[in-house]
Amino acid sequence: MDKITLQTMEFYGYHGLFPEEKKLGQRFLVDVDLHTSLKKAGETDQMEYSIDYGHAFQLVKNVVEGPSKNLIEAVAHQIAMELFQNFSLLTACRVKVIKPDPPIPGNYQSVAVEIYRERSNE
């Protein structure tokens, strides 16, 4: 399956369970794979047969920089739902939301959740 990938998009948001996360905020990194057939776009060189990754970036930004959520699982889910609502050619997506600086003790690079969703025909 063909895909368009947006990697390491960086935003500032207020998601988390702890009061200081909701008050002070923190950085979030997001990776997104947009699965769709790119054959017709490649053959015709017409944007109508692809997914506008600039628009996809803005949708992700609006979610991450939008209203606070307790869980990054909910952030990832909302990103996926926004992508499906806005791109009829999208057949599936992978969304990874990374907290590089969560307020937990220990040595680690980051914590993250990654989801994969396919378009439902319901």
Catalytic residues: 99
d(CA 17, CA 86) in angstroms, rounded, equals 29
Read off the DSSP letter of residue 118.
E
Exposed, middle or buried by CB within 10 Å (0-12, 13-18, 19+), for 89? middle
